[in-house]
């Protein structure tokens, strides 16, 4: 598929000129009398029909592209004069293979996929038959493959993993990576093997002539598919485990001021914290290859050549990171890393509340509401902990909307409403929302920042501890250890973020920074996916560091060479000085000895 805007534009401009009023008059001058009037009437009627047709496509075009990267600011005023642009998305349409990750990862990625589909691209979504949230979508081709596990297996494995987080919080990386509770990861990593066992699907992928692969790297399958099909890839993620982001992008690893994952350190680390930061990096180097061992075996089997996790990540053309430095600490990155956090932070994404939730909000009175959600993946809380939480919620005057699908605690207060689902972003955007109790997942945290709602954070696993620490460092919320907190701790934290003005002021400052950008993150993400499709990758953004060995990257060979030269020069100089010394002073000594022997 070739992307050529200029040729398409010229063709339709010529078409518009051909049917212009002056051109029609030149080609078909009006005749005289009754016949001439009929001809004139037919000519004008035809021109009117053509104008209405073109205006209709102009209207469709403005809907498609005026909110995109091609039309910013005053540029949209140029659109009515260019009827060619109404056909832009169809003329440049490509074919994109999408390999998503299940769960909350898909919620944000879906908005990019749907926008690409609206722009006329052919989208093929490859998903397993068994999933939580991956489902059919309009105008998107779905290809499924069989898995070795059932939905019940998946639910049991995740429940086992989730329950483990409520019992213990490992301090070392090793228990996190090799725990027997990590069966869920084995299921995720086995998907790619199941996909490539479907020979019919593999043949379809080989013959489909895709322009690029748009993927979530969590289960690694998208990276394997991209390498198998020799296609450029675009990663869509919040981050990746271990040190593979730095190796995959060749971004510098600044251990002195960029904390490693799961440590909950700030960027102003003490000496002791920097020691632990280095130890964590060493742990990653030692234990992470073991965590990805199954992935490497599956990839090597599929690609029929030995391949490492680092090599899979290194082939990526563009990294779309759902990060923003209003939350994350500043760090050096490479030019093929693009920050697109806040995709859901757009007015278009906020909808009016349903009658049910509008009634809850209106009934809250002057005190307002508190939103409580631990994410879509946490369905049950240990009974004792749930009772402690319910007790604390009953001691604040606000109405609490708690998304919870587990067994209701027996001491649930009247001000607390349990719901199986809630429109989180819409509620956070309501002016009566006073606080947000969250597990600190990246989606929830960024929605809280976007809407300027102070938070009480109860992180459970993954990057949640780091997200909570960063929000607390910026004075926008309070972090509680969910395993150790008491009812009083939660009550005091809620009263603090609701009543102390500093929390609201700090979160509003972050919100203003977050939303002050030259282009919407959704449009930016769409642009870079289409960029890779148009140019078959982004090789000009790929650092040459990928082609260096580890000793070349750190200039150890150069240092060794210069050290050898320096030592050689020192050695030669020393030998020369010693030789000169012996020649000069050794001769005098022999003369003296000879003179003494003669006198005796």
Q: pLDDT tens digits, residue range 311-320?
A: 999 999 999 9
What is the distance between the alpha carbons of residues 64 and 42, in angstroms, rounded to a whole number? 33
What is the reported pLDDT for 291? 86
Q: What value does the CA radius of gyration of the chain take, rounded to a whole number of Å?
A: 33
End-to-end Cα separation, the chain, in angstroms: 106
Q: Give kind and range of the element (H or E) at residue 212.
A: strand 212-215
CA distances from 90 to 27, 86, 116 (A): 31, 9, 11
Percent of the chain with pLDDT over 70: 78
Q: What is the pLDDT of residues 54-98, one digit of tens each?
A: 555 555 554 544 444 444 333 343 343 333 333 344 447 899 999
| Sheet with strand 95-99: strands edge to edge | 140-145, 122-128, 95-99, 212-215, 233-237, 318-321, 337-339
pLDDT for residue 562 is more than 70 = yes
Identify the CATH number of the domain defined by range 93-344+521-547. 3.40.50.2000
Q: CA 387, 389, 393 angle in degrees (round to 5)? A: 115
What is the reported pLDDT for 246? 93
What is the reported pLDDT for 210? 96
Average pLDDT value for the chain:
83
**DSSP symbol at 438:** E
In 65-215, DSSP assigns E strands to: 95-99, 122-128, 140-145, 212-215
Q: Is the model more confident about 344 or about 441?
A: 441
Count CB-CB contacts under 10 A for residue 188. 22
What is the reported pLDDT for 148? 86
What is the distance between the alpha carbons of residues 412 and 408, in angstroms, rounded to a whole number? 7
Q: Is the model more confident about 450 or about 596?
A: 450
Cα torsion 326, 331, 336, 337: sign = negative
Q: What is the pLDDT of residues 148-199, one digit of tens each?
A: 888 888 888 877 777 776 666 655 556 666 665 567 788 888 899 999 999 9
89: its two tokens: 């998305």
What mean pLDDT do residues 261-278 have? 92
What is the distance between the alpha carbons of residues 526 and 116, in angstroms, rounded to a whole number? 7
What is the reported pLDDT for 590? 62
Domain ranges of the chain: 5-90, 93-344+521-547, 347-515, 551-600
Q: What is the pLDDT of residues 98-115, one digit of tens each?
A: 999 887 788 889 989 999
**58 phi/psi in degrees, rounded to 5:** -60, -45
| Range with the largest mean pLDDT of 216-220, 461-465, 473-477 | 473-477
pLDDT for residue 32 is more than 90 = no
Q: What is the pLDDT of residues 417-470, one digit of tens each?
A: 999 989 999 999 999 999 999 999 888 999 999 999 999 999 988 788 899 999
Where helices occur in 230-354 by DSSP H, the ranges are 244-249, 271-291, 293-303, 309-314
Q: What is the pLDDT of residues 121-138, one digit of tens each?
A: 999 999 998 877 776 666
What is the reported pLDDT for 1? 43
* HSE-CB of 230 using CA atoms within 13 angstroms: 3
Q: Is the model more confident about 209 or about 6?
A: 209
Q: What is the pLDDT of residues 481-538, one digit of tens each?
A: 988 899 999 999 999 999 999 999 999 999 999 999 999 999 999 999 999 999 999 9
What is the reported pLDDT for 9? 44
Percent of the chain with pLDDT over 90: 56
What is the reported pLDDT for 58? 52
What is the reported pLDDT for 82? 35
pLDDT for residue 350 is more than 80 = no
Q: Are 238 and 256 in contact (CB under 8 A)?
A: no
What is the reported pLDDT for 107? 82
What is the distance between the alpha carbons of residues 320 and 115, in angstroms, rounded to a whole number? 15
**457 phi/psi in degrees, rounded to 5:** -110, 130
Question: Which residue bears the tokens 């030692």?
Answer: 286
Count CB-CB contacts under 10 A for residue 363. 11
Q: Evaluate whether the domain defined by 347-515 bears CATH number 3.40.50.2000.
A: yes
């Amino acid at each position: 598929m070739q992307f050529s805007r200029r040729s398409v534009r010229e063709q339709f401009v010529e078409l518009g000129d051909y049917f212009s009023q002056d051109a029609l008059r030149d080609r078909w001058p009006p005749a005289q009398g009754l016949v001439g009037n009929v001809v004139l009437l037919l000519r004008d009627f035809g021109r009117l029909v053509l104008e209405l047709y073109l205006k209709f496509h102009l209207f469709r075009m403005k809907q498609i592209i005026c909110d995109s990267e091609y039309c910013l600011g005053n540029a949209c005023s140029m659109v009515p004069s260019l009827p060619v642009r109404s056909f832009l998305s169809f003329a440049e349409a490509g074919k994109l293979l999408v390999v998503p990750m299940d769960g909350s990862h898909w919620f944000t990625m879906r908005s990019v996929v749907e926008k690409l589909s609206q722009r006329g691209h052919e989208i093929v979504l490859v998903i397993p038959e068994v999933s939580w949230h991956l489902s059919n979508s309009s105008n998107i081709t779905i290809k499924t493959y069989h898995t070795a596990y059932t939905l019940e297996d998946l639910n049991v494995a995740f429940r086992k993993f989730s329950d483990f987080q409520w019992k213990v919080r490992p301090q070392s990386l090793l228990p996190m990576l090799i725990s027997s509770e990590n069966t869920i990861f084995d299921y995720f990593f086995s998907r790619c093997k199941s996909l490539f066992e479907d020979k019919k699907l593999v043949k379809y992928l080989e013959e489909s002539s895709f322009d690029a692969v748009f993927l979530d790297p969590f289960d690694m399958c998208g990276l394997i598919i991209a390498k198998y099909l020799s296609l450029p890839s675009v990663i869509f993620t919040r981050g990746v485990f271990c040190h593979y982001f730095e190796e995959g992008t060749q971004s510098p690893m600044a251990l002195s001021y960029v904390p490693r994952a799961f440590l909950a350190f700030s960027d102003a680390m003490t000496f002791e914290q920097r020691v632990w930061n280095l130890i964590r990096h060493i742990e990653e180097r030692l234990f992470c290859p073991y965590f990805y061992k199954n992935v490497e075996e599956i990839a090597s089997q599929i690609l029929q050549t030995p391949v490492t996790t680092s090599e899979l990540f290194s082939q990526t053309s563009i990294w779309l990171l759902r990060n923003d430095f209003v939350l994350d600490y500043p760090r050096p990155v490479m030019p093929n890393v693009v920050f697109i956090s806040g995709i859901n932070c757009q007015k278009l994404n906020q909808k009016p509340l349903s009658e049910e939730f509008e009634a809850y909000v209106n009934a809250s009175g002057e005190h307002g509401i508190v939103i409580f959600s631990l994410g879509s993946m946490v369905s049950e809380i240990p009974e004792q902990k749930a009772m402690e939480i319910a007790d604390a919620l009953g001691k604040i005057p606000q109405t609490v909307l708690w998304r919870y699908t587990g067994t209701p605690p027996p001491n649930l207060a009247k001000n607390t409403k349990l719901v199986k689902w809630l429109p989180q972003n819409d509620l956070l955007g309501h002016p009566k929302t006073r606080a947000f109790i969250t597990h600190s997942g990246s989606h929830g945290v960024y929605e809280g920042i976007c809407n300027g709602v102070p938070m009480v954070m109860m992180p459970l696993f993954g990057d949640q501890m780091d997200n909570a620490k960063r929000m607390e460092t910026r004075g926008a919320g309070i972090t509680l250890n969910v395993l150790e907190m008491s009812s009083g701790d939660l009550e005091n934290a809620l009263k603090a973020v609701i009543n102390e003005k500093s929390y609201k002021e700090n979160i509003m400052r972050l919100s203003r920074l977050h939303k002050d950008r030259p282009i919407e993150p959704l449009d930016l993400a769409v642009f870079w996916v289409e960029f890779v499709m148009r140019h078959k990758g982004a090789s000009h953004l790929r650092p040459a560091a990928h082609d260096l060995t580890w000793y070349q990257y750190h200039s150890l060979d150069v240092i060794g060479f210069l050290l050898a030269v320096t030592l050689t020069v020192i050695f030669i100089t020393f030998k020369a000085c010693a030789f000169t010394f012996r020649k000069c002073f050794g001769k005098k000594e022999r003369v003296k000895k000879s003179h003494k022997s003669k006198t005796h």
